[in-house]
Amino acid sequence: MNKVSKPDISVVLPVYTGMAFLQQSVESVLRQDDSEITFEFLICDDCSKDESYEFLKTLKDPRVTLYKNEQNQGLFPTLNLLIKKAKADLVHLWAQDDIMLPNCLVEMVRFHREFPEVKFSFSRLQGIDVNGNYLKRPTVFNNKTISVENHAISSLLFGSISGNIANVCLVKEACESVGYFDESMIYVGDFKMWCLLSKDAPVGMYGNILVNVRQHTGQLSRDLKASFFRMKENYEVYQCYLSTLKPELRQHLNKIIKWKVYPTYLNQYFYILKQNDLELGKRYIKELKKYDDLFLMFVKWTVVRVLRFLRLESKFYKIVFYKKLEKLKTH
């Protein structure tokens, strides 16, 4: 591939002590089909404690540009640095554990050309274990977009719609307009970014698998104390998604998540106490008070557990909340 001043897509990879799977991850990007597109591959080592940076320095491919943080910055500051360095209008986020299928980049470029109104998109992903064995295969569907309203509802009820960052493409100009990833966040800066990028534009959904995402215990998200930071940071994100909805729908969604979502944090609080981490428990309950009255949260938690035991939980949500939700949604 000849060097060009502006490639069709930029791939950005933050690296931190990831040598176990890093070579497979990097090679999967360099093996991308570039018969009809050009791409650049920007990598930043965030002060790795293993041989990651030494391996990265051996890469001689002209598509690769390597950076190194002088001090450990964390995921979102490193992503921001790389996105700002990217030359392409379209940026594919990448992760050191995962594997791109050979047609990933060309398909995402095609998708964004088909849906130019989209500011961020994601593809289906296939879970793999530490040995590369396939886990449960996801459903696939035709390429489509999801509206601002439906994306907010789905995110509030079920969490981040993409499920990962390694299957996400962003429009660089849109990232600039919303101020990039929130660097004050440790865990859910991506979830907040998806909200900001979808406030006035639909979200792109590429319906087939383009990425194999590795699931293992070494990932940042598996740390027990992450539950506290996720809960603390998620409050702001929920408010972001609620703000995108019309008032009556916003009010109804707020009621639903006070039953369906917030009491799940109470489960984690009880688990923290079970682990005898009383200091973390104090910090946790202080932040949890932002979500709802603690007594009412406990009542809802108890009712839901009883309904679950009686196998009536789904019926309860359907009758009490979901029927009205469908009526309130924009048709």
Q: How far is CA 134 from CA 104, 163, 215, in A?
A: 18, 17, 10
pLDDT score, position 329: 87
pLDDT score, position 299: 97
CATH 3.90.550.10 residue spans of the chain: 9-218
Task: Please write the tens of the pLDDT for every residue from 128-161.
Answer: 999 999 999 999 999 999 999 999 999 999 999 9
Task: Please write the tens of the pLDDT for every residue from 2-31.
Answer: 445 799 999 999 999 999 999 999 999 999
pLDDT at 214 exceeding the cut of 90:
yes
pLDDT score, position 215: 86
Task: Please write the tens of the pLDDT for every residue from 97-126.
Answer: 999 999 999 999 999 999 999 999 999 999
Mean pLDDT over each residue of the chain, to the nearest integer: 94
For residue 72 the two structure tokens come to: 């450990």
| pLDDT tier at 220, thresholds 50, 70, 90 | very low
Contact between 37 and 5 under an 8 Å Cβ cutoff? The reply is no
Helix (H, G, I), strand (E, B) or coil at 137: coil
99 forms beta bridges with 212
Q: Quote the pTM value.
A: 0.92
| pLDDT tier at 216, thresholds 50, 70, 90 | low
pLDDT score, position 221: 40
Helices (H), 7-161: 19-30, 52-56, 75-85, 104-114, 148-158
pLDDT score, position 263: 94
Task: Please write the tens of the pLDDT for every residue from 222-258.
Answer: 467 888 999 999 999 999 999 999 999 999 999 999 9
CATH T-level assignment (fold) for domain 9-218: Spore Coat Polysaccharide Biosynthesis Protein SpsA; Chain A (3.90.550)
